[in-house]
Amino acid sequence: MAISDVTTFAHLSETDVEALGRELDAIRRDIEESRGDHDAAYITRIISIQRRLMVAARLTLLASSFPPAWVAGTAMLAAGKILENMEIGHNVMHGQWDWMNDPEIHSGTWEWDTICPADQWKHSHNFVHHTFTNVIGKDNDVGYGILRVTSDQKWHPVHLGQPVYNALLALLFEWGVALNDLDIEAISKREKDPNETKRQLKGIWRKMRRQVGKDYIIFPMLSGPNFLTTLSANVTANLVRNLWAYMIIFCGHFPDGAEKFTKEELEDESKGEWYLRQLLGSANFEGSRLLHVMAGSLGYQIEHHLFPDLPSNRYPEIAERVRALCEKYDVPYTIGPLYRQYGQVLRTILRLSLPTKSVSPVQGPPELRRATSEELRTHAGTMAPQAAVS
Amino acid sequence: MRARLIEPGVDAYGDGAGATNPAVNAGSNAGIVRGLVARMTTPLLPDDYLHMMNPLWSARALRGKIIEVIPETEDAATLVIKPGWGWNVSYQAGQYVGIGVHLGGKWHWRSYSISSAPATGEARGRRKELTITVKAMPEGFLSEHLVRGLEPGTIVRLALPQGEFVLPDPPPAKVLFWTGGSGITPVMSMLRTLDRRGTMPDLVHIHSAHTLVSAIFRDERLALAERHAGLQLIENFDDQHGLLDVGRLTDVCPDWMSREAWVCGPAPMLAAAEKQWEKSRLTEKLHLERFSAVLTTSAQGGHVVFAASGKAADVDGATTLLEAGEAAGIQMPFGCRMGICHTCIVPLKKGVVKDLRNGTEYQENAGVQTCITAAAGDCVLEI
């Protein structure tokens, strides 16, 4: 079964899929050819703002026993970490800025402000997740091995605890991400080279020591008598970052309308079909420019999955063109306000904690409603969201 | 630990423990302070914050500031560059330096001979300005930009000076400099050094230029010849005297065979000189500077995996890893594409690659220059 057999795309002929692929290729070419000073100025400005935020936050928190300083410092630190992880780190490591030929802003050298080492992230995310997006048994991000996020996963009494696991994953998100590339399932099935596991654990340990040392030891100590309040501020900032990153990322592939796929659908997949899979497997959300920047431009999840290595500041203009193409080829384009997208995610996770067979979608956005209710019912089972990182 | 692209010696995680870059660790106390501060700035380096206050305060990617642009001729200019942190190295007269210029959002790299004389005596070791002299080449958009488009205050990136085209100190008793066009620049650094050190030997300098007005540093060379009895200056202007080819060498400098020679100029001139000295069995007395890598050997090729990108390609032994990566659709870091600037370095995770210029083999965990290396069997690159 190929992707074009999925009901939503059944009206597309092979020629249509090829033509759509060519039109998407043309968007890529246009952006690649027009990258220049303006784009470089964007990322250097974001980086500069982020570093200023960090310096201001750390200085402010030296006086963290003074409550307004605690609040301001924590807010700046959380904002700085969110910016670094999402709009800067995630996108730089995708190679969005490699074209600048700047070794200081390059996917090969970037290390980010979170526990997960960059090289392991690039494997589990850039390669596994972005290549095998939403393919069951291939995309390791599915539920992080904890959550039942699709009715294709067999129900087990352990899933009754799902609301709790979900809350824990949200709070400890950076740790979940750090452990994701280990592929604990493969380890328990003894399918993985133990030496590779050892190497990865060593990398995580090194990175963890630095991250924990900085946030929970060095900066609290530098605050002297304010050790405890600075510690609580840093813990809070990391928690806020975790919750935010978790929410944004879960909104990328799990709201109603984000399709999932089987290994069979991967076979003999053409470039046009790959594009289709990325289109159908991702969901956008609406928001202000500031919201999009703080979300690492992942509100443009569809565009990000079509063109993961094009500069994020260009996603808004790419989105206009992608949306027009979706209309032209009558392909759904899943988008909604952030609160609704996350509401759908939460609902699915809660429902699948019980042995239900499927999740029926709530009233979707107009774009979704273009797909007939018949199609939505047919796909209700497979449309259940699944955990995957952006 | 993964290596940084441009300075494999600097710790990618920024704890300072891996900061083996000699330029960075020159002062060991400073190195310790750096390591401690890096514990706070991790995963970044202190430099990543400091260069926001002053662009020169970073040893991570070497930076320099254009102090002055001095027009030399109609199409050549000298750039006076103040290097930033990390430039605690001296250079030798005749060496070249990689310079990266930000244009259209990208860093473009080229290499140019240093035309200034290295600091001597007391000034040695102090951070000092250096100059490069650039001739705008037709269709050379970057050289054109360097000559006419750079404002004083512009920040450029620098690569450490290198090159074997250097003069020993003290110099040999009898020397021949033979230069053509902008090939004068490394030799100008040598002349200035000999002048400054007062070690001018018996030296014949033959210089060819298209016309009298296009001859770079002419006034200074004439002044030097006046000051030093040992320095004999022979000028050839193609429009007046015709091309000075190797056949006329004996006419203009009858005792050239008894002199140690430094030759720098256009590629045909270098090729002719190499042949002539070889014929006279004097190769060991000839020093050449060429600005394009000659790739002579080839490797056997193999299956190259670009690990971080999840891509792979079967590549023959004549295709560089850089070309292979680009053909596979990977944004490879690149610079000069001739093995000079080291911008293109990528860590080799597994396998062996071969330097196409000289056949040197690199094993796993080395940072390899992808622009001049090819696969010697199957290999895995960390990009």
In contact, B156 and B132? CB cutoff 8 Å: no
**pLDDT tops 50 at residue B132:** yes
**Interval A122-141 mean pLDDT:** 83
Alpha helices in B87-181 (DSSP H): 141-148
Residue B86: CA count within 13 A, CB half-sphere: 26
Judged by average pLDDT, the poorest of A25-39, B152-166, B338-352 is: B338-352
Residue A172: CA count within 13 A, CB half-sphere: 12
SS3 A248: helix
Nearest residue of B to residue A58 by CA position? B40
**pLDDT tops 80 at residue B77:** yes
Give percent of chain A with pLDDT exceeding 90: 63
User: Which comes out higher in pLDDT, residue A334 or A358?
Assistant: A334
Two tokens at B336? 């000069």
Nearest residue of A to residue B13 by CA position? A111
| Cβ contact, residue pair B61, A103, below 8 Å | yes
Distance CA B139, CA B144 (A): 8
* Average model confidence (pLDDT) across chain A: 87
List the single best residue of A25, A35, A54, A101 to mutate versus B (max B Cβ within 10 A): A101
In contact, A150 and A136? CB cutoff 8 Å: yes
Q: What's the N-to-C CA distance of chain B in angstroms?
A: 14
Report the 10 Å Cβ neighbour count for A11.
11
Calculate how close chain B gets to A57, using CA atoms only, in Å.
Answer: 13
CA A254 to chain centre: 11
Two tokens at A78? 């959380």
**Interval A50-77 mean pLDDT:** 98
**Interval A366-389 mean pLDDT:** 35
Two tokens at B54? 């002053």
The confidence score (pLDDT) of residue B331 equals: 84
* Average model confidence (pLDDT) across chain B: 85
| Cβ contact, residue pair B48, A131, below 8 Å | no
**pLDDT tops 80 at residue B296:** no
Question: In b/e form, how buried is each residue of A349-377, taking b as 16+ CB within 10 angstroms?
Answer: bebbbeeeebbebeebbebbebbeeebbe
Confidence of residue B14 (pLDDT cuts 50, 70, 90): very low
Confidence of residue B294 (pLDDT cuts 50, 70, 90): low
B310-367 pLDDT per residue, tens: 899 999 988 999 999 999 988 888 776 766 556 688 888 888 899 887 787 887 777 7
Calculate how close chain A gets to B382, using CA atoms only, in Å.
Answer: 8
A64-110 pLDDT per residue, tens: 999 999 999 999 999 999 999 999 999 999 989 988 988 899 887 89
Distance CA A280, CA A258 (A): 6
**pLDDT tops 70 at residue B10:** no
Give percent of chain A with pLDDT exceeding 70: 89
B182-237 pLDDT per residue, tens: 999 999 999 999 999 999 999 999 999 999 999 999 999 999 999 999 999 999 99
Distance CA A64, CA A47 (A): 25
As for the ipTM of the complex, it is 0.85
| Cβ contact, residue pair A35, B105, below 8 Å | yes
Secondary structure letter of residue B119 according to DSSP: P
User: Which comes out higher in pLDDT, residue B124 or A305?
Assistant: A305
Q: Which of A35, A55, A99 lies at the smallest CB-CB distance from B49? A: A55
Confidence of residue B5 (pLDDT cuts 50, 70, 90): very low
Point out which residues pair with B260 in neighbouring strands. Answer: B175
CA dihedral over A284, A289, A291, A293, signed as positive or negative: positive
**Interval B43-71 mean pLDDT:** 92
**pLDDT tops 50 at residue A390:** no
Q: What is the pTM of this model?
A: 0.82
Distance CA B98, CA B90 (A): 15
